[in-house]
């Protein structure tokens, strides 16, 4: 809806589609040839692809993180076969990239806007959680989840932080919304990441069950959280 429809956008779409096809076709072989060396060539290769597509997205007036979602989906089978590579990528992302992003996003929040629009923030939070409940809870009933587990799953799937904050920051950067509106949206998004998780962990944590197998049916045991072992018993 808010994209700049010009030659840059067309170039970005074309290059992204070609890059995704090449990654799907050749990335597993390339990563295998690069090997797991101390210099981390595999991690550098994935980072190079992400930075190139992200930079092109920014030039085209889109959001730099969108190609990352697509690249992640294309490389998902490769990451499933090689567990170490996504772990190394995760270390880089959470230690370097993510903190700077959220520091930037948080620095744009106006404290007085949070206080003056608390009611509106709660309303947005309720709407966000309600729409997630409508989309998820009926599916847990359809797939025969136990009520407690169905509610636990629904609450955890009701959280949202990354894409909501990205959308709000995109709107502020492109002057679609102002800073006060950005503050309201981001605060509601942060609430949607915290509130459902706290409720799920406090009141709907699944209890331990024995695994039962009847023919083709299998019930998976979900253990309760383990209590820490006292030092004298270790």
Phi and psi at residue 158, in whole multiples of 5°? -85, -5
DSSP H/E element including 201: helix 179-203
- CA–CA gap between residue 178 and residue 108 (Å, rounded): 10
Ranges of each domain in the chain: 1-103, 108-223
Which residue, among 158, 105, 151, has the nearest Cα to 131 in the 3D structure? 158
Question: pLDDT exceeding 70 applies to what percent of the chain?
Answer: 88
Residue 140 near residue 149 (C-beta atoms within 8 A): yes
pTM of the model: 0.68
pLDDT tens-place string over residues 195-209: 998 999 889 888 765
User: Is 60 exceeded by the pLDDT of residue 227?
Assistant: no
Average pLDDT of the chain to the nearest whole number: 84
Which band of pLDDT confidence, cut at 50, 70 and 90, is reported for residue 4? Answer: confident
Q: What is the DSSP string of 110-139?
A: -HHHHHHTHHHHHHHHHHHHHHHHHHHHHH
Query: Could you tell me which residue, 230 or 36, shows the higher pLDDT?
Result: 36
Return the residue matching tokens 């406090």: 202
pLDDT tens-place string over residues 8-49: 999 999 999 999 999 999 998 998 888 878 778 998 999 999
């Amino acid at each position: 809806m808010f994209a700049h429809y010009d030659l840059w956008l067309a170039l970005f779409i074309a290059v992204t589609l070609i890059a995704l096809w090449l990654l799907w076709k050749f990335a597993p072989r390339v990563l295998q040839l690069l090997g797991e060396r101390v210099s981390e060539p595999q991690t550098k290769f994935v980072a190079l692809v992400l930075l190139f597509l992200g930079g092109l997205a920014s030039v085209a007036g889109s959001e730099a993180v969108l190609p990352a979602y697509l690249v992640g989906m294309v490389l998902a089978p490769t990451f499933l076969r090689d567990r170490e590579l996504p772990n190394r990528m995760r270390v880089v992302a959470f230690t370097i990239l993510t903190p700077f992003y959220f520091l930037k996003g948080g620095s744009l929040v106006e404290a007085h806007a949070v206080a003056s629009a608390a009611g509106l923030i709660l309303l947005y939070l309720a709407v966000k959680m309600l729409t997630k409940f409508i989309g998820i809870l009926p599916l847990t009933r359809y797939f025969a989840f136990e009520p407690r587990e169905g509610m636990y799953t629904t609450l955890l799937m009701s959280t949202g932080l990354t894409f909501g904050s990205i959308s709000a920051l995109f709107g502020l950067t492109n002057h679609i919304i102002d800073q006060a509106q950005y503050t309201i949206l981001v605060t509601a998004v942060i609430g949607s990441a915290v509130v459902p998780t706290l409720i799920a962990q406090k009141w709907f944590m699944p209890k331990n069950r024995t695994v039962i197998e009847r023919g083709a049916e299998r019930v998976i045991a979900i253990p309760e959280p383990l209590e820490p072992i006292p030092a004298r018993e270790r």
